[in-house]
Structure 1
Amino acid sequence: MGAVARMSAMIVDLLFPRGCAGCDRPDAVLCMNCRRLFHQQVERPLPAVAMGRWFACGWYRGAARHAILSWKDHGDEECDGPFCEMLYDLAHSCGLFDTLHDGMSYDKPVLIVPAPSSRQSVRQRGRRHMMQLAGRLARELRRARLSAKVCNALESRGVKRRSVQMRGVAQRSRRLRGHVVVRPGIDLRGVPVVLVDDIITSGTTMRRCVEALQQAGATVVTVLALAYTPAGRPAREEGHSSSAV
C-alpha cells in the first residue's frame, strides 16, 4: 500500500471508525470477546475421512454468527485476517499438523480445497470468500515444512437455493445430489486433501464434497470449518440469512 493509500485509509478510519464484526464494539475488526467464540472447538465423527472426524472453530450463533455473515455476505473483507488465524489455530489444536507430519504416508502435496459456492453466490459476493482462508492454511503448512497448496477443485452446478434456507437434511441432500463435482482436468488420484468450509449445518454439503473428492481418487484427511449449527436448530437473529454453499 502506498503513502497516499495509507493516508486515505487513516482518514476514513478517523471519520468512520468501524465496529467489531460480531458485536459492533468500536475500533476492532473482531474484538477479543468475539475471537474467543471461535476457540470453542467442536468436533463430530466422520468415518469417511482419514482423521475420522470433522472440526469447527465454534458455534454458529450470536456474535459469531453475526461476524461470519458480515464477512461472508456483507463484504467485510477485513475479517479475512482474523478468520484465517482461527482456522490455522483449529488446524493445530485438532492435530492436523501432527497427522500430516507423522500419521500419514503420501508423496504428493497436500491440497487445501474450499467447499464450492454456487455461481450465483460468487456473483453476489464478488469473490470466492473461502479462498483467502484456504490460502493462509496452505502457507502455514508450508512453513511447517509440509508441501501444500490451494486447489479450487470442486464446483457446484445447477444449485439455485442456499442450503441453510432449506429445512431438512433430506431436502438439502436432494438439492446437492450430483451437483458437487470435481472440476474437469484436475487429477486427484492419490492426493491428500483437507476440505475447508465456513459453516457446517446438516453436514450434507460436507459429505457430498467428501464423496466427490474420494470418487476422484483423493484421500480426504479431514474437514475444517469456522462454525457449526446443528440441523433443525437455526440461529434466530432478525435481519440475517446465511448460506453453506
Structure 2
Amino acid sequence: MLDLRSFVIGIVIMLKKYTCVDITIYSEYNEEDFKNGIMLLPLLGLVIGFFAYLISLLKFFYDDFFVSILIITYYIIITKTTNFKDTYKTLNYIIKPKNQSEQISGIIGIIILCLIYFTIIRLVPITSLIIMPVVGYSGLIILSTVFKRNKEGTTIMKYCSKYHKIVAFSISFILASLFNYKLVIPLSITYMVSGAIVSIIDKKIKLLPSSIEGFIIEIIQVIFLIITYLIKI
C-alpha cells in the first residue's frame, strides 16, 4: 500500500539535502522514508529546472549573457552549492594534492564547470533547462549500478534499488518527451557517455567518498547540455 506520509517526509528530506529550502520535520523518519525520497528526486529536479526555465524566458527582453548569469546565480542559491562543493572535494580526492593546502584541482574544476554552464546555457533550447536537473538526479540513481566498489560511504547510491532506477529512467524520458521530444536523443547519449565515465572512475577510486554523488550529478548535467548543443537540438 502506498504510504503518502512516507513520501512526503522523504521529499522533505531531499529538499533539505539538495536545496536551500529548510523545512523542519517534526516527526521521526526512518530508512524507508529516505528511500521514498530518493524515488522522488527526479521530480525535485523538475521543480528546480522549471524555475530555471522561467528565468530563461527573460532572454526575450534582456541580453543572453545577463540571463545566463541570473540562471547560474539561481542554481547556486537554490542548491546551496551542495553539488559544487561535492565536485570540489571529489576532484581533490581523485587528483590528490601534494599537501593539504594545495587544492588547485578542485578550484580549477569548479571554474571550468561554471564557465561551461555560462557558455552552454544560452546556446541550448530553454526547454533543456527544465530537463537538466531531472537528468542529473535520475542519472545518479540509474548509474549507481555501474559502481562495483563498496557504496557504504555514499548517502544516496547505497539505497538505490532496481525500482528506483526504473522510476528514474521512466520519469526522465517521459518528461523529456513531454517538454521537447527531441531531447530524448541527447538524454540517451548522456546516460551512455556518463556510464562509460563512471566506469573509469570506478576503476580509479578504491573507496567511494560521499562527495562522489554531487560530482556525478554535475558531470551528467554538463554532459547533457553539451550533447544537446552539439547535435543541434
**TM-score of the two chains, using structure 2 as the length reference:** 0.37
Q: Which has the higher helix share?
A: 2
Higher strand proportion (structure 1 or 2): 1
* More contact order relative to length (CA 8 Å, sep ≥ 6): 2
